[in-house]
Structure 1
Amino acid sequence: MIAESSRGSSSGPSRTSKPLKRGRACMNCRCVLLKCDGVKPICGPCRRHPKDDECEYSDGPGRSRTKVLEDTVTRLEARLQELENPEATTPSVTLHDPYNFRDTQRPSKSPPLFIPETIPFGPLSPFSPTSTSSSLPSGRHWNTFSALEAMTESTGSSGSSTSPTRRFASSPFLGAEEPSFLLIQNLLDKFLPHAAEFGFFLHAPTFRASTLLSFPFGHSSRPSPALLSVVYLWGVHFSQSEALLLQEHAFLSRAVGHIATDMLGTHPKRVIHTLQAEILLAYYFFRTGRFLEAKWRTGAAVSLALGSGLHKIRSSNLSAPSTIGLMQEVAVSLHEPQDNLEEGERINGFWTVFMLHKVITVSLEPPSNVCGALEAPGMQIDTPWPLDVSNYNDGLLNPELRGSSTVRNFLGNFPVDPRAGDSTTAMAVKASVLFHRAAHLTGQWTPNMQQREFQAFAAAFQSVNRLIESFRSLLPPLSHIEVTDPTIRTLLMTHALADAATIKLHGIFAYADTSSKQNCLMAARNMVSLGGVNLQEIGYMNPIMGTLWMIACHVFIDEISRVRLINSSWPPQGSETSEEELMESLRSGLTALSLYSEDSALTRYQLTKVQEAFSAI
């Protein structure tokens, strides 16, 4: 009776009361349009005809599964509509690129220096070189670029449904092979005043004049497409125009493409111009922190220089002419130079590759791996030392000059013509040789050497040390050079490379040997004092300078750490350099790094690593 009474009372309203409201029907009955009696937890139709889905009511305490699915479908349909019509709807979520530095106003000043006045002594050992190992930066993060692509329009499946125009970043010279004449002039003006600091070895006035000739892109009277494209890229990189900087990646794409194909063309100077393009691109990647690409381009430049025999120019040793390869069953080789300038550009081209290889290897390889193709057994470089490129037109290249074992003679301190190798360009190359040689020698050191190995190492150590000191004595003092002199930047780098060579050579012994420590400190002070030159008047410098200043800063950090440890254990010694003096030198090094960190990913990374090392002591 209780069951019948319940059933009657439950079913009564469906016959005698008002019709059931739509919201009270269960979800299963609503889906198949059945009349629901509203009995809970399971209604009559669902009890008589059981289904896989449970009986659900939309007015329950929580959202039913069906309701959740319906809401999801609604949300997905709205998102699909939003994606198909981006301009007709307001996005529900707006994303931003955290690496988009171009969206904000370009900073007007370099980042502030971070040098705490007092930091508690940390766990860093003062008797070991400061660790600088960490992940390398990935380089500049690009905006959404569409290299050399036009604005496209996508239409829907029906004529009445048309999707909005999809806008891409327009190319730097859309519909043309190169920028307009006025833009080319502007890009040349941005780059050429600083070109020598990034491996430009050609005669700049001649290059500019040939670039501006009214011949089409790729004409034999103008520079090769690869070289022009890389120079345009550098001009964009140095520009202050936000519109151009947004197109930097597009210019890079065009440059890389032409370098890959120019050697297959017929341009009469394709070998030398491709070599120049490879060097410029390697320095570009080095400056922007893209180290793997920098190493790859450096290797390509070395291969091209050796393959075309540039290391055997004016060699006194008879040898078969070098060829790069075969094109259509004909060997590809360099023709005889037409004048002194063309021969001089080839000489300087080889030594520019040589120097690039040295600085890239020391900067990016661990000490034990500091070697390379130019130091391979049997490799002999006979090309004479370079002159400053403007001197070749002045007839300063002696017609009788011949070369043999140029680098080997320099390292062996063999007597040579005292007038050879004293140009600003040659001195910079020699400084890179010493920098590389010191780093290579240091990489061979192990504390458990056998007696014979140690004796050989000690003899090499003393030889390189004497060579560095002798070389430094021949350099003109920086204080004697006017800041407006175009050679000032090269001389600054040459002095810094020589000082860095001293630090590389003595650094492994500085923790235990007082003489080596003093040599490192003196060299580091020279590197950050810059002979009193005001860096703000200098302009752009070779990217290696950040690496050299970083080396100097770590010398000061290690010594500050050592002095703090000693002073915490014993009374201060009068002979010790005071911490304040060391801090002042460190500030000078950080100031130099900070000044060049604003638009260089590499220097910005190096500044950060020095600040982190200082914070650790």
Structure 2
Amino acid sequence: MISDAPKGSKHVPKSSHRPLKRGKACMSCRFLKIKCDGEKPVCGPCLAHPRDDDCEYADGPGRSRTRALEDTVSRLEARLAELENPEGSTPSVLLHHPYLYNAPSKSPPIADSPVPLAPLPLSPFSPTSTSSSLPSGMPWNPPVAKKSNTELSGSSGSSTSPVRFSIPMPYLGAEELTLTALQASLDQFLPHAQQFGFFMHVPTFRHSSLLAFPLGHHSRPTTGLVNVVHLMGIHLSQPESLQGAEALLLTKAVQTVSVDLLSTHPNKVMNTLQAEIVLAYYFLRTGFLLEAKVHTATAVALALGAGLHKLRSTNMTTPSILGLVHDQPYVLTTPVDVTQEAERINGFWTVLTLHKFITVALEPPAHVCGALEASGIQIDTPWPVDLDRLDECLRPDLRGNSTVRHFLNGRDRADNDPPLALLTKASILFHRAAHLTGQWSPRLTGPEQKAYDSAARAVNALIESLRNTLSAFAPINTLHTRNPNTRTILLIHALVDAAAIKLHWIFAYAYPESKQICLTAARNIVNLYGDLNLQEIGHMNPIMGNLWMTACLIFVDEISRTRQVKEAVWAGSSVEDELLESYRNGLKVLSLFSQDSALMRYQLTKVQEAFEAI
């Protein structure tokens, strides 16, 4: 049989022919410089050498990965040319101040939300109510500001972020600080030191700081701690002669603290821990929130790394190795006396309290977690002790075992707890309540809902128990402004009430009991001071701004709801007047203490904006 094919051509069976689709070559063939038949989705050469995905064609319906990469390369080359010749090009990227807060997006205020349905008859933590659903109505969200002439707003402009100053960062060395200047700073800082996490024995620290030895001498505190205390004294006093010098002092303090652990100072671990704690409170107070988190994290790492969570443990523990010196393990030395041991105990709990404050104040509820109570970390250190009553508090037989766990399980004995121990317990409950709020969801299954209700009831019982302890230990009407523990006791009272708010706030729309608990707790916070002269109280812990703001927003939320439901019996003008009066009290105290705190000024602005929006 004679073939019709031209002479010299190869005969290919008909079954092996592939229909040819004319088109451009795929990207792979173009790159390899081989002939492509343009077959889609996989061309002949790519079919012969299989790949994970289809061929890419430049004329496809969308940009191919190769084309996208080429565009990216072109854009980066153009940007590189801009940076190399800044005067001859127009910037394609506009820079902004990294620390300025963005203005909130406009959204309808809470007054525009639907009127809540009738509340359910049972408490959300009732044993007979283990299948709680999402409370009717919308959970409270801070309304954004809108232009309004509403009374009591007190706002004269738009929201601004905390004022920040530019910090030059040259290395400042270890210039000697005069004893006269240091003494003046100590006089300003030490009376308020407890509010900024100072756990060391004040008379001993003051004496050693003013010894006539060079800065960094082993008989004095570390250079970093001395510089931090000097910085805080200048910050709290703000003398006209040193205006503008605080930024340089801050730079010097941060630099020297960062290298103190490399020194041979015998107390470098605890001194650096103390410096990091005070720096974290300083940054929180001045509105440097990221820096506050960083120094808090450093303090947590130091405390856990040094094994401060295992002091006087009943369990067999091995000392934490801090490093190797001459190929030998280096561990925290044995305390020289009971005062130094008490400082270590109090130092750990001060770190834990700071961590609780920072986490609740700066993180959304869903992200509130317990790094110091993570799986595998068991805290055995006994509760804080009173440094002025060591013979009574730090007995030789004092031991600790699962301290926090026993407290949360209701198995803790609170016998004559000093203020620092009560503050620690209040901060734990404050953090625990916020954590539970972040864990609640309307999609919880039956067992999950049962576990949540059980945990919430336990925390609620602990809050009430601590409230009763406070009422017996330190009633508000017996406090005096000249008592150094007054500010700490006020903070404890406010934390207990804030914990109740955190625990019940998301249920306030559905459960009358929860709403009443929140309102009562908020009134307690803003009316906390009674007959005390606020001008004489002195500087407060920076977390107080968060507590005052929380209370004020409770009143703003309730005022908004009473205005929505005017036909209800309880929505009379007298109810709104009482709420407005409580709001005024909260605004007054927040305004007073915000005068020298950038963070509190910002929180005051947020409260004012929320009120203007209703």
Q: Quick one: distance in 2 between partners of 1:202 and 1:144? A: 29
Q: Does 1:426 align with 2:449?
A: no
Given that residues 167 and 248 in structure 2 are in contact (C-alpha distance below 8 angstroms), is that contact kept between their aligned partners in structure 1? no
Q: Which amino acid aligns with 1:208?
A: R
Q: Does 1:279 align with 2:274?
A: no
Q: Quick one: distance in 2 between partners of 1:212 and 1:147? A: 27
Q: Does 1:399 align with 2:396?
A: yes
Match of 2:598 among 597, 601, 612: 601
Answer with 598-607 or 241-250: which moved more.
Answer: 241-250
| Paired position in structure 1 for 2:180 | 182
Largest Rg, 1 or 2: 1
| Paired position in structure 2 for 1:517 | 515
Q: Which amino acid aligns with 1:591?
A: K
| Paired position in structure 2 for 1:547 | 546
Q: Which amino acid aligns with 2:139?
A: S
| Paired position in structure 2 for 1:460 | 455
| Paired position in structure 1 for 2:405 | 408
| Paired position in structure 2 for 1:536 | 535
Q: Quick one: distance in 2 between partners of 1:305 and 1:571? A: 55
Q: How many residues of Structure 1 are paired with residues of Structure 2 in the alignment? A: 469
Question: 1:270-349 counterparts in 2 under 5 A?
Answer: 270-349=268-347
Q: Deviations over 1:343-385 (max 9, x none)?
A: 0000000000010000100001111111132121121100000
The alpha-carbon deviation at position 145 of structure 1 amounts to 5.6
| Paired position in structure 2 for 1:89 | none
Question: 1:576-591 counterparts in 2 under 5 A?
Answer: 578-591=575-588
Given that residues 144 and 610 in structure 2 are in contact (C-alpha distance below 8 angstroms), is that contact kept between their aligned partners in structure 1? no
Q: Deviations over 1:310-361 (max 9, x none)?
A: 0000000001111223344332321111111000000000000010000100
Question: 1:38-187 counterparts in 2 under 5 A?
Answer: 122-123=111-112, 127-131=138-142, 139-142=162-165, 177-187=175-185
Q: Which amino acid aligns with 1:206?
A: T
CA RMSD in angstroms comes to 2.3
Q: Deviations over 1:437-492 (max 9, x none)?
A: 00001110001211111111111111111110111000021111222111000000
The alpha-carbon deviation at position 388 of structure 1 amounts to 2.2
Q: Quick one: distance in 1 between partners of 2:377 and 2:575? A: 48
Given that residues 442 and 504 in structure 1 are in contact (C-alpha distance below 8 angstroms), is that contact kept between their aligned partners in structure 2? yes
Q: What secondary structure does 1:464 align onto? A: helix
Give identity over the alignment, percent: 54
Q: Does 1:215 align with 2:213?
A: yes
Q: Quick one: distance in 1 between partners of 2:370 and 2:328? A: 30
Q: Tell me: CA distance 1:609–1:338, structure 2 relative to 1, closer, same or farther (3 Å).
A: same
Q: What secondary structure does 1:387 align onto? A: coil
Give the structure-2-normalised TM-score. Answer: 0.73
Q: Quick one: distance in 2 between partners of 1:202 and 1:526? A: 31
The alpha-carbon deviation at position 498 of structure 1 amounts to 0.3
Q: Deviations over 1:166-217 (max 9, x none)?
A: xxxxxxxxx9723322111111111111000000000111111111100001
Match of 1:444 among 439, 445, 448: 439
Q: Quick one: distance in 1 between partners of 2:235 and 2:519? A: 36
5+ long unaligned stretches in structure 1: 1-97, 99-119, 150-174
Q: Tell me: CA distance 1:561–1:450, structure 2 relative to 1, closer, same or farther (3 Å).
A: same
Q: Which amino acid aligns with 1:432?
A: S
Q: Which amino acid aligns with 2:398?
A: L
Given that residues 128 and 511 in structure 1 are in contact (C-alpha distance below 8 angstroms), is that contact kept between their aligned partners in structure 2? yes
Q: Which amino acid aligns with 2:287?
A: G
Given that residues 132 and 609 in structure 1 are in contact (C-alpha distance below 8 angstroms), is that contact kept between their aligned partners in structure 2? no
The alpha-carbon deviation at position 137 of structure 1 amounts to 7.3
5+ long unaligned stretches in structure 2: 1-96, 98-108, 116-137, 146-157
Q: Tell me: CA distance 1:227–1:552, structure 2 relative to 1, closer, same or farther (3 Å).
A: same
Q: What secondary structure does 1:402 align onto? A: coil
Given that residues 323 and 330 in structure 2 are in contact (C-alpha distance below 8 angstroms), is that contact kept between their aligned partners in structure 1? yes
The alpha-carbon deviation at position 124 of structure 1 amounts to 5.7
**Highest RCO, 1 vs 2 (Cα 8 Å, sep ≥ 6):** 2
Q: Quick one: distance in 1 between partners of 2:579 and 2:494? A: 19
Q: Quick one: distance in 2 between partners of 1:336 and 1:353? A: 21
Q: What secondary structure does 2:388 align onto? A: helix
Q: Which amino acid aligns with 2:425?
A: K
Given that residues 167 and 247 in structure 2 are in contact (C-alpha distance below 8 angstroms), is that contact kept between their aligned partners in structure 1? no
**Dislocated runs of 4+, deviation >6 Å:** 132-138, 574-577
Q: Tell me: CA distance 1:502–1:282, structure 2 relative to 1, closer, same or farther (3 Å).
A: same
